[in-house]
Amino acid sequence: MLVGCGQQRHLISSNEGIADCSDAEVYKTLYINKIDAKVSLNDDSYDAKLVLYYVPDSIIFLSASNAGFEIVRIGVFQDSTVLINRIDKMVFILKNDSMGNPPPVNFNDLEFLLDKNIRCRKKEGAVRKDDLLVYDFSVQDIAKYARVNRVNQDLHNFEFFQKKTGEYLVGEFAADGEIVLYSNFIVDNITIKARGGNLTLNKILEIDLKVNKAKYDFILL
């Protein structure tokens, strides 16, 4: 799953053809809807439409729906993650300050993947391997790598792996624009293959993560 650092890589410098990111768009919110996706949850697969909503330093929200019925809804905050499984009527709540092993990925990691402005600000800390920049945010017991195109800062792939628990989030981007995500984090196994979507900047969206407590089981992680 993880690719180690080779000796051929070296710290980047300003004269090696690295994008200056001056064209990275600044926004208050990012909203993408009508993303075509196939969602595999355990042994079941669904054709789905995804909605992604991101407010810098605040929330990352993802919703997947099939034929107008929401399958899953996820809200990631600085201090916690909430996942609502509409099919099995379950709500998973993860607090970042819990006494257990830390999760493989947190809000800052996901924000780095979503926001090119953040990747640009941190590019001097990356190492270069061929046409890629490799970012290493690994901490004790957690391996964290992201690889981007060194010229335009577009994501190539990423891996987050908790060595003690075996939990992971892995993603890769194909040349045709498809992104494939694999994860066993919070839920047992989920795979999302997605492409397309309509992008809107600075849209204000009200996020609702409430459910009928009489109908859902709550699991604190």
The answer, yes or no, to whether residue 5 has pLDDT greater than 50, is no
Per-residue model confidence (pLDDT) at position 106: 92
**Domain assignment of residue 12, yes or no:** no
**Domain assignment of residue 18, yes or no:** no
Lowest mean pLDDT among 51-55, 98-102, 110-114, 185-189: 98-102
- Domain limits at 69? 23-204
**Domain assignment of residue 62, yes or no:** yes
Taking only the tens place, the pLDDT of each residue in 85-106 is 998 899 999 987 766 788 999 9
**Domain assignment of residue 64, yes or no:** yes
Of 108, 75, 107, 120, nearest to 93 by C-alpha is 75
CATH code of 113's domain: 2.50.20
Per-residue model confidence (pLDDT) at position 14: 43
What is the percent of the chain where pLDDT is above 70? 89
Per the structure, the count of domains in the chain is 1
Taking only the tens place, the pLDDT of each residue in 171-180 is 999 878 899 9
Distance CA 165, CA 125 (A): 28
**Domain assignment of residue 219, yes or no:** no
Report CA-CA distances (Å) from 9 to 134, 142, 172. 9, 22, 21
Higher pLDDT, 159 or 68: 159
Strands 190-195 and 30-41: antiparallel
Helix (H) or strand (E) holding 177: none
Per-residue model confidence (pLDDT) at position 205: 93
Report CA-CA distances (Å) from 165 to 41, 53, 100, 131, 141. 20, 29, 10, 33, 9
Confidence band for 122, pLDDT divided at 50, 70 and 90: confident
